[in-house]
Amino acid sequence: NIGLNTLMLVLGLLIISWILRKLVTKPLSTVIRTLRDVESSANLNHRINIRSNDELGEVAEVFNRMMEKFSHIIQQVLTSTSQLTDESRRLEQAAEANIDGTRRQHLETDQVATAFTEMEQTSHEVASNTNAAAQATEETNQRAEEGRARVEESIASINNLSQGLKDAAQVIKQL
């Protein structure tokens, strides 16, 4: 009778052990393995495949939803970073075009000043008109220089923004 009871107890313990392994240990190992995979690879596409109505099933479901949200957020950040980079390039090109225009205007202004100086030598009446034009040219030069300085400041700001975006993109890639 004691031998039968011992056999029944051992058999019962084996069954309980098998049930615990199937219902707890194996799913828990799956959760741990998936978490380690995400940690080591930084791949937000990993999901836990546990379909049960217990706490482990709930942990798997919450984890999967969380990974979906993280993936969506990262995608939005990458899209925004790409758009900002594109806009930064367009602004840089526009700034460079403005600088070129300012340089051409400055050159043309210098040429106009030379022409006015030559006309001053030919006529006294033209000389007074030339002085007024030279003053206007000087003001234009100052405005052109101010414009060029602003454009250079804009380019520096754009370059800083671009570097910040590159750094952010690098951090995001590392995540």
The model's pLDDT over 15-38, given as tens digits with 9 standing for 90+, comes to: 988 887 777 778 888 888 888 988
Question: If you average pLDDT over every residue of the chain, what do you get?
Answer: 83
Q: Given this model, what pLDDT does residue 72 score? A: 92
DSSP 48-116: -----SSHHHHHHHHHHHHHHHHHHHHHHHHHHHHHHHHHHHHHHHHHHHHHHHHHHHHHHHHHHHHHH
Neighbours of 117 (CB within 10 A): 12
Q: Given this model, what pLDDT does residue 38 score? A: 87
| DSSP helix/strand/coil, 155 | helix
pLDDT at 100 over 70: yes
CA within 13 Å, CB half, 42:
6
CA–CA separation, 115 and 120 (whole Å): 9
The model's pLDDT over 66-98, given as tens digits with 9 standing for 90+, comes to: 999 988 998 999 999 999 999 989 988 988 888
The DSSP H or E segment spanning 42 is none
Q: Given this model, what pLDDT does residue 129 score? A: 65
For the chain, percent of residues with pLDDT exceeding 90: 13
Mean predicted confidence (pLDDT) in 142-160: 82
Neighbours of 57 (CB within 10 A): 14
Q: Given this model, what pLDDT does residue 82 score? A: 92
Q: Given this model, what pLDDT does residue 49 score? A: 81
Q: Given this model, what pLDDT does residue 165 score? A: 76
Mean predicted confidence (pLDDT) in 116-124: 71
Mean predicted confidence (pLDDT) in 56-73: 89
Mean predicted confidence (pLDDT) in 134-155: 82
Q: Given this model, what pLDDT does residue 124 score? A: 63
Name the residue with higher pLDDT: 115 or 127: 115
Q: Given this model, what pLDDT does residue 116 score? A: 73
Which 8-state DSSP code applies to residue 53?
Answer: S
